[in-house]
Amino acid sequence: MSISTYIHDDLRVRLQSGTKLPAELTLESLAGYYKVSFTPVRTAVASLLDEGLLQKGANRRLLPGRPSAKPGNSATEPEPLPEPPRDYLDTIANDLVRLSLQGQALFLREEATAQRYGIGRSAIRNIFHRLAGTGMLVHVPRRGWRLRPFRQDDMQAFLEIREVLELKALDLARPHLKDDDLHRLLRGNSVPESAGKPPQIDNSLHEYLIGKAGNPYIKDFFERHGRYYDILFDWEDLDRPTAIETIRQHREILEALLARDWRGARRALSYHIRDNHPILSRIIQRDCDIDLTGVQNGSH
């Protein structure tokens, strides 16, 4: 299902059943409500106007149109709201992490990737562009998409600079920290009470400190170089013992910040950055059974 089809069907069901609609029926508000650009909203709205379920009002506002019968449903069985289309970004990103950990600069083919996941090439191209923004992929003209290979020495170099800049961010952020924010982050990092419960991690502590620091050059470094490693570190936290240790370290940092123990917070943050990558720090090149290249050895 395309996003425009989903928006059309969701609005249709809401209009026909009287289910709550967005506060304002304008292209701007609908784009914000569905968190998309104007293009799929325009397509969906145009269809709904043709069907008479929406009407044009004043000041670019839309109004509910005439009701129509709900196909295939009785009056006592209202049609359910449609499920949003699946975003394959996280699934593909996790698979690409596994390929990246092989340490080889593979070239990926859109056609082979689309076939593997059963989605269109345009959707794959969109996902590849989004991953290129994280530094995981690079588009090479006339060759395709090159996957960034994981390198131990590259990660260590990144962590050395990350430690310096995050500690500086913590120092700059001190006057701007809010206890309510710190308590919210503390609640977001919860060690599971039993083996059957998943760990609850909130990694936004780092983004919070960098934002409160107010230094655009620190922020620029992490926006340019940190997103690739954010994906790797999120993948690493899928390991339960690693996730639980991450939570404990986050809590130690946050508790020190709440106590205004700046030295303890710096020490805990430094340890967390340098020593909390037990899986990535011992990665050895290994085979992977995922083939997104379409040809042997990834040649193009």
Domain boundaries, the chain: 3-64, 89-150+286-298, 152-282
Question: Is 286 a residue whose pLDDT tops 70?
Answer: no
Fold of 3-64: Arc Repressor Mutant, subunit A (1.10.10)
Please tell me the distance from the alpha carbon of residue 97 to that of residue 116, in angstroms, as a whole number: 16
DSSP 286: -
Identify which has the larger pLDDT, 165 or 38: 165
Query: What percentage of the chain carries pLDDT values higher than 70?
Result: 89
Please report the pLDDT score of residue 256 as a whole number. 98
Mean pLDDT of 171-198: 93
Which of 92-106, 154-168, 219-233 has the largest mean confidence?
154-168
Residue 295, pLDDT score: 41
- Give the model's pLDDT for residue 4: 84
List C-alpha distances in Å: 168 to 76, 250, 275: 62, 18, 19
- CB 285 within 8 Å of CB 103: yes
Would you state the pLDDT for residue 294? 62
User: What pLDDT score was predicted for residue 67?
Assistant: 58
Question: What pLDDT shows up at residue 262?
Answer: 97
Average pLDDT, the chain: 86
Provide the residue type at 292 as one letter: L
Biggest CA–CA distance in the chain, Å, is 67
Region for 139 from its dihedrals, namely left if φ exceeds 0, alpha if ψ lies in -120 to 50, beta otherwise: beta
Q: Inform me whether the pLDDT recorded for 280 exceeds 70.
A: yes
Q: What is the pTM of this model?
A: 0.66
Residue 243 structure tokens: 């996730």
- Tell me the β-bridge partners of 140: 144
CATH number of 89-150+286-298: 1.10.10.10
Say how far apart CA 31 and CA 22 lie, in whole Å.
10
SS3 content of the chain, % helix, strand, coil (to 5): 60, 5, 35
- Model confidence over 122-155: pLDDT tens digits? 889 989 999 998 899 999 988 889 999 999 999 9
Lowest mean pLDDT among 97-111, 155-169, 234-248: 97-111
For residue 246, what pLDDT band results from cuts at 50, 70 and 90? very high
Q: Which residue would you say has higher pLDDT here, 179 or 289?
A: 179
Whole-angstrom distance, CA of residue 89 vs CA of residue 109 = 16
Q: Give which of 136, 106, 119, 128 is closest to 230, Cα–Cα.
A: 136
pLDDT at 77: 66
> Does 89-150+286-298 match 3-64 at the fold level?
yes
Torsion of CA 19, 24, 26, 30, to 10 degrees: -60
Query: Band of the pLDDT at 250, cuts 50, 70, 90?
Result: very high
Cα distances (Å, whole numbers) of residue 49 to 9, 21, 52, 53, 81? 13, 16, 5, 6, 20
The CATH class of 152-282 is mainly alpha
What sign does the dihedral 7-10-14-17 (CA atoms) show? Answer: positive
Query: Backbone phi, then psi, for 63, in 5-degree steps?
Result: -125, 150
Cα–Cα dist 287/272, whole Å: 30
